[in-house]
Homo-oligomer: A and B are copies of this chain.
Amino acid sequence: MRKIGTEELEDIALGATVLGTGGGGDPYIGKLMAIQAIEEYGSVTLLDPDELDDEDLIVPTSGMGAPTILIEKVPNGDEVFKAFQSLEKYLGKEIKATMPIEAGGVNSMIPFALAARLGIPIVDADGMGRAFPELQMVTFSIIGASSTPMALADEKGNNLILNTINNKWTEDLARGATITMGGSTFVASYPLSGSEVKEAGIRNIVSFSQEIGEAIRIAKENKTDPIEALQSVTGGFILFEGKVIDIKRETKGGFARGNAELEGINDYNGKTLTLNFQNEHLVAKVDGEVVASVPDLITVHDKETGQPITTEGMKYGNRVLVMGIPCTDKWRCEKGLEIVGPKYFGYDIDYIPVEELADQD
């Protein structure tokens, strides 16, 4: 158990944006919400999963929708509060704590905004260990935990309670409602027991985000190489250095989908990298050869500062460094790859861990 204040939040938001792998929303918006809440209501207690009782009720909170829309529709913090409260009322049981469902600029921060306001703790765990575009893509799906009852709220005052037969139905229904509601909503989903969080949660995700953010910040303060610092914290591999020569992006079916093309520079002169994304980066290829794919993390950085660049922040002419970071082992099993492997996203490729692909070079 430790306290998280606004200083820690800065590092957490920055590190979570790296783990957001291009998606997960703009860290500036997420941080604004969380910092405002902590300044108003005080710091937030971060619990280790082992500090939970097995019977505790834990409900992750998050935003849903294309990050491209969140930029135009800044949340006021009230939406997630309403979703959380309507779910707690519906369940008729006190919710002990909230937690992030994924890492990302916005979704790492929403639980902090809520927890500060309600004076409840946050658990240092999430369901992805990174960001993924769809709601069923959590390690809780591997152990058969239900995403429902779930509450979904918009900024206008509409809200839904969903009860579904499986987590893909939740995704489809919640995504459809999110589109109807204008493209962005806030949800309280996956009511979990303490024992489920302990079994299937990705532990230390908040602390890991903080370490990553710290590494970038300290490298800047000490004028040392931020990319080396990032590699040392994450175990990541440099996949490419290049200049963005093409970027296509559209908000479709409730997602920001697209691809980017990078022309190599320095060691990668003469080579071309392509990135495919659906909110998050899914597959990276150099000259047509896969160099990393989901569930491993593909992150894009400013080479000089190490700052992560989201897909909506990537612009023509940007000089960037692309990294591949091994995902949590929880995804590297048959059931995990069924849920978040490249085939699920429609790519006819076998998943090979990024460290093995790096060895082949």
Residues on A lying within 8 angstroms of B by beta carbon are 86, 90, 156-165, 169, 172-173, 176-177, 179-181
Contacts and interface: CB of A to CB of B under 8 A. Distances in A.
> 7 nearest interchain CB pairs?
A161-B161, A176-B180, A157-B165, A158-B164, A176-B176, A159-B163, A172-B180
A288 to B, nearest CB: 37
Contacts of A157: 164-165
A136 to B, nearest CB: 14
B86 A163 contact: yes
Contact of A180 (B86, B159, B165, B173): B173
Contacts of A173: 158, 160, 177, 180-181
A165 B172 CA distance: 23
A163 B169 contact: no
12 contacts: A86-B163, A90-B90, A156-B165, A158-B162, A158-B163, A158-B164, A160-B173, A161-B161, A173-B177, A173-B180, A176-B180, A177-B177
Contacts of A159: 162-163
* Most chain B C-beta atoms within 10 Å of own C-beta, residue among A158, A162, A179: A158
Nearest to A181: B173
Contacts of A176: 176-177, 179-180
A305 B304 CA distance: 84
A152 to B, nearest CB: 9
Given A156-B165, A160-B163, A160-B173, 15 more contacts: A86-B163, A90-B90, A90-B161, A156-B169, A157-B164, A158-B163, A158-B165, A158-B173, A159-B162, A172-B180, A173-B180, A173-B181, A176-B176, A176-B177, A176-B179
A86 B164 CA distance: 13
Nearest to A180: B176
A276 B173 CA distance: 31
Nearest to A158: B164
Contacts of A172: 180
Contacts of A169: 156, 158
A113 B180 CA distance: 32
